[in-house]
Amino acid sequence: MFQNPLVDPHIIGVTAGSAFGGTLAILLGVGSLLMMASTFFFGLVALGLIYALAALQGRDSTLGLILSGIILSGFFAALVSLMQYLADSEETLPNIVFWLLGSFATASWHKVLLMSLPLAVAAGALWKLRWRINLLALEERDSRSLGVPVAALRRGVLVCCAVLVAAQVAVSGSIAWMGLVVPHLARLLVGADHRRLLPTAFWLGAALMLVVDDLARTLTQAEIPIGIVTALLGAPLFTFLLVQSRRRSTAR
């Protein structure tokens, strides 16, 4: 959609917005339900602000959205740092740091039920739009000539992605690299057709998170935050994917 292989939820600002919502809730000492609501809400707020900034620039282009996302990511990251600075160093600050690194330690069926509705709605909408998403890889002029409302479709896909990311961060914190590595790995396996790519990325991501969670719980006596494990695995794996992609393009 952005014609940029490095775009992930971190770059478009949704993850940073959700992270701020969660850290704010932890700082205020609210319950888990309100914490999840705050995380989810600020993730969607970040997306709304991205479009507002793009509108101020006078363009609803991919470049405008990426630049707006980078600006807001930095802004919300600063707010997260402010929450950490204001937090009690004895109890609240460790809770914030542990949550930001991601964990399934507090997983429960209650959280699964709360996450299932936004996940089902957003994933179902993306599944319905899967063949149209393929057309976004074309030049905008070519997509419009095929009768695709590019701006509306891009906006709808971004909203669905923001809902998915905000729901994930709300229940397990921010988990690095998976939103970047898994789609590339799925594309390497089944190609770029989103009719196959979307379900493959969905199940591959779930399978990898199970493996990562097992590693986080068994490598040491204390559970390692998942974000640390995904970063340690994600960086070399993404390097491997880049090398494989380069070899394929050279072979052609």
pLDDT at 252 exceeding the cut of 70: no
**Short-list 235, 34, 30, CA closest to 227:** 235
pLDDT tens string 35-76: 889 999 999 999 999 888 888 876 657 778 888 888 999 999
pLDDT at 249: 63
Q: What is the pTM of this model?
A: 0.86
pLDDT at position 144 is 75
How do residues 64-117 score in pLDDT, each as one tens digit?
888 888 899 999 999 999 999 999 988 899 989 989 988 888 888 988 888 899
Q: What does the chain look like in DSSP terms, one character per residue? A: --S-TT--TTTTTHHHHHHHHHHHHHHHT--HHHHHHHHHHHHHHHHHHHHHHHHHTT--SHHHHHHHHHHHHHHHHHHHHHHHHHS-TTTHHHHHHHHHT---TT--HHHHHHHHHHHHHHHHHHHHTHHHHHHTTS-HHHHHHTT--HHHHHHHHHHHHHHHHHHHHHHH----SHHHHHHHHHHHHH-S-HHHHHHHHHHHHHHHHHHHHHHHHHSSSSPPPHHHHHHHHHHHHHHHHHHHHHHHHHH-
Q: Which of 78, 82, 83, 58 is nearest to 68 (CA)?
A: 58
- Residue 187 CA to its chain's centroid (Å): 17
Q: What is the rounded CA–CA span in Å between residue 119 and residue 180?
A: 19
Residue located via tokens 């905000």: 166
